[in-house]
Amino acid sequence: MTEPERRNSSNEGGRDLDLRLRRLAVLAEPVRRRLYLYVCDQAREVTRDEAAAALKLSRPLVAFHLDKLVSHGLLDVNFRRLTDRQGPGAGRPSKLYRPSTQDVELSLPPRRYGLLGVLLVRALRRSGEDVAAELRAESEQAGLELGRRARRQGHRESTIDESISLVLDSQGYEPVIDADGLIRCRNCPFRAVMTEDRDLICGMNLALMRGVLTGLKTSPERAQLDPSCGGCCVVFHPDPLEMGACA
């Protein structure tokens, strides 16, 4: 690499670090951070009015901070009418906010584990060997250990679903329980490598989650693949024979 190329590479790395730092620094402002966490906690898009009412803040203040989060790539925005009215008098489409699909990672010095994961998946796919079964077995064992640890550390009054949610939250899945009792995860921790081989990674993820359920002494079949649900590909169904509180 020539000296000019080396300087350019260094400058690009510095600009990338500066961008990441500025994105994260946006969340240092308390109101902005509360708004960001509120939007992330919803399993749907959020309007300015909803956020203002939930946080008991003025609408202009909420609009300012939400748009600041959008400008720094932490939230995405969409415009849509919230009623079926059309034509004159229907009003302008509402501005809706949701968590950004962009990843913001920061480590000093820089680490590129996502790139490593992508390269490993590519190498496995090209090796010609059937490694999927071994990967699922290792993942199930890792999940089993997570589930057992949660049972040892859990409170006697905790329900199985609460324990499942705690494990998922500790691993970055961002779980929510919907009105039907399904546990869904808004985030896929493996998204960076999942796009390289969805079947391999989703199969691994399902095995991991079923291991967790086994460790928590509930039916592993509660975890099922549902790629259409958005977020993580695994959904947890209610267990009619739930074994009660963790012991």
Domains in the chain, start-ordered, CATH in brackets?
3-81+92-99 (1.10.10.10), 130-236 (no CATH)
Range among 37-46, 62-71, 109-118, 169-178 rated most confident: 62-71
108 burial level (CB within 10 Å; 0-12, 13-18, 19+): exposed
At residue 167, the pLDDT reads: 94
Q: Three-class SS of residue 191? A: helix
pLDDT band at 5 (very low <50, low <70, confident <90, very high): very low
7 pLDDT more than 70: no
pLDDT of residue 155: 62
CB 24 within 8 A of CB 69: no
Q: Who wins on pLDDT, 244 or 179?
A: 179
What does the alpha-carbon distance between residue 232 and residue 189 come to, in Å, rounded to a whole number? 8
Q: Which one has a higher pLDDT value, 74 or 124?
A: 74
Once rounded to an integer, what is the mean pLDDT over residues 63-68? Answer: 94
Q: Which two tokens stand for residue 138?
A: 């290792």
The confidence score (pLDDT) of residue 68 equals: 93
Q: In Å, how far from its chain's centre is CA 147? A: 20
User: Looking at the DSSP assignment, which residues form a beta bridge with residue 175?
Assistant: 185
Residue 170 has a pLDDT of 92
| Residue 186 in this model has a pLDDT that exceeds 60 | yes
Section 195-219 average pLDDT: 93
Closest residue by Cα to residue 132 from 120, 124, 140: 124
Going by C-alpha positions, the residue among 36, 38, 18 that lies closest to residue 28 is: 36
Question: Which residues contact residue 227 at a Cβ distance below 8 angstroms, ignoring those fewer than 6 apart?
Answer: 198, 202, 233
**The predicted structure's pLDDT at residue 130:** 76
**Quick one: pLDDT band at residue 14, thresholds 50, 70, 90?**
low
Q: Is 197 left (phi over 0), alpha (psi -120 to 50) or beta?
A: beta
Give the amino acid at 204. M
Task: Please tell me the predicted confidence (pLDDT) of residue 235.
Answer: 93
**What would the two tokens of residue 160 be?**
């199985």
Helices (H), the chain: 3-25, 30-41, 48-55, 59-71, 113-127, 132-153, 160-170, 191-194, 198-215
Mean pLDDT, rounded, for 78-90: 67
Q: Contact at 8 Å (CB) between 194 and 124?
A: no
Give the alpha-carbon dihedral of 116, 229, 203, 196, to 10 degrees: -30
- Separation CA 166–CA 122 (nearest Å): 32
Sign of CA dihedral 113, 116, 120, 122: positive
CA distance 246 to 214: 12
How much is the CA Rg of the chain, to the nearest whole Å? 22
| % of the chain at pLDDT higher than 90 | 40
Taking residue 165's Cβ as centre, other Cβ atoms within 10 Å add up to 20
Query: What predicted TM-score, i.e. pTM, was given to this entire model?
Result: 0.69
